[in-house]
Chain A
Amino acid sequence: MDMITLAETLTQYFFVVLSAPLYAGILAKLKGMVESRQGPSIFQPYYDLWKLFRKVTIIPAGSGVFFKYIPYVIFGIYSLIALIIPVLVPVPIYFTASGDFLSGAILFSLAAFLKTAAAMNSGSNYVALGVSRSMSFNFLSEGTLITVFIAVSLLTATNNPYTTNAFLVSHSLENLSLAHIFSTLAFFMLFFYETGKIPLESPGVQELGMIDEGLNYEYSGKLLAINRWSSYIKQYLLGSVLLNVFLLPWGLFSSSPYFLLDIPVMIAKWVLLILIVLVVETTLAKLRLFRVLDYLATAFTFSILFLIFAEVIP
């Protein structure tokens, strides 16, 4: 039994960390195909990371210790989250008991905060601008993240994401309950913001559109690679929570040899999510920067309102 749990834990951890860049690659490839280009290889994120790891890391003159070490801490935080929420195996594994849904949300917030703090520590004016921009949006997105996680836990009156997942699988009609539908909607909107997708942020070189990328301005070499990798893991974690708890709770295996089947199932689910993202990214235009606030306010309104509806309506 213990060996199985250990195997599950290791599988989940290494799957999350190693496959995380893949989805960004798939999205880029598919996007290229939609735009009648050949598109980069789906392994391009791995090549990029490898390239960055080998490059020289330049530390800005005015920067402090935060700037140098925080990327590792953030990577560690995301690794921890990967072990406490059901992102691959739908049964509890080692470390699951170390936190619940809410602690997951708070760890996300902690990572975001540390990232900003580290960016501020670089001592560059451009980064300061980027930080103020991302902070002016984050106050809404963090709030939404926490309320959404609370809202979904109300269904089962517990903060345990595994219970919620199991409950939703066994009670299909509950997937139509108001609290669930609208927290899904709010979380879906949030997913686009947190992962820098197109109606809100166009990642790339043009600084007019960047929100989260602005924090990476002064990073280079190994530190940049770690930051990128953390972002990929974050995207995977948020997307998997969206898939496993909100959108498609079904299809995961928990008994001992079959949990390995979860890997193809998760990849299939992710392809589905990527297709949805692809449709959104290629049909919508990017919002003006100040409209991002409206977008997040809408998501926040949804989450709060239906949190309370969920409290009132049984």
Chain B
Amino acid sequence: MNSVDTVVYLISSLIAISAFYIQGQEFIVSMIRGQSVQSVLIAVVAFIIGWQERSYDFFILGALIIVLRAFLVNYFLQKRIPKEKVYLYERKVSLSYLFLLDLIFIVISVFIIYSIAFSGIVLHSFLGNSGNSAVLVFPLTLFFQGLFLIASRRTTFTQIIGYVEEENSLVLFAMFLLPIPIIIEASVFLDVLALVVISSIVVLEKFTHEPVEELRG
């Protein structure tokens, strides 16, 4: 294990922690900021890989992440937070219970999936030097964490952030595995941004989501 590897692992684990931080928040503003920080961390990983691999694509990717995810998504979401006090945070979140459930979910989904399917993958980048693909655990964790965030919470904002988290994990996944052509990655970014904008329109109308009688079965 060399020192750059260690740094990448550390930043990746910070990304995983940021996901847990978002899961543990009640206030919407701090969740949105948590997402921004997460995107910046992903951009930092992109810069490190780009510097190690001497590839400019990663720098463009990192810049795109910072501009589109860290700033624009943050901006559009923060603008939509209703001013009334009742909407500033989500009620009835029992964090310890959710954390434990989350833990079980993550452990089962990520590690079983990883050990069945991904452990045989060989990475092309310098991260694969040691002959294993363990770093892929982090994007997988982030992915399922995003999925769990969507499933466990009831407000529109939280679910949007869960979705953005999932998309973040895909960027990270592609970076570690083999970077998708930048043009496609960019259109994915724009797609996600558009989806965030569209769904933030729904926020204005409907803040929380509970089961509805007419939509059952």
Contact = CB atoms under 8 A, between A and B. Distances in A.
Direct A–B contact in the complex, CB atoms closer than 8 angstroms: yes
Q: Which has the most chain A C-beta neighbours within 10 Å: B99, B130, B132, B134?
A: B99
Interface in A283-314: 293-294, 296-298, 300-301, 304-306, 308-309, 312-314
B6 A177 contact: yes
B99 A294 contact: yes
Nearest to A306: B13
B73 to A, nearest CB: 26
Given A309-B13, A314-B134, A298 B111 contact: no
A93 B91 CA distance: 54
Contacts of B115: 312
Interface string A175-187: 0111001100000
Given A312-B134, A314-B1, A176 B24 contact: no
Provide the main secondary structure of the chain A interface.
helix
Chain A interface extent, by class? 20 to 34
Given A176-B6, A177-B6, A312 B13 contact: no
Contacts of A301: 20, 99-100, 102-103
Given A173-B3, A301-B20, A314-B134, A182 B102 contact: no
A261 to B, nearest CB: 32
B171 interface: no
B194 interface: no
Contacts, number: 61
A296 B102 CA distance: 14
A191 B64 CA distance: 42
Contacts of B135: 313
Interface of B: 1, 3, 6, 9-10, 13, 16, 20, 24, 95-96, 99-100, 102-103, 106-107, 111, 114-115, 130, 132, 134-135, 137, 141
By Cβ-Cβ distance, the 4 closest A-B pairs, closest first, are A297-B96, A297-B99, A313-B134, A293-B96
9 contacts: A176-B10, A177-B6, A178-B13, A182-B13, A294-B99, A297-B96, A305-B16, A309-B13, A312-B111
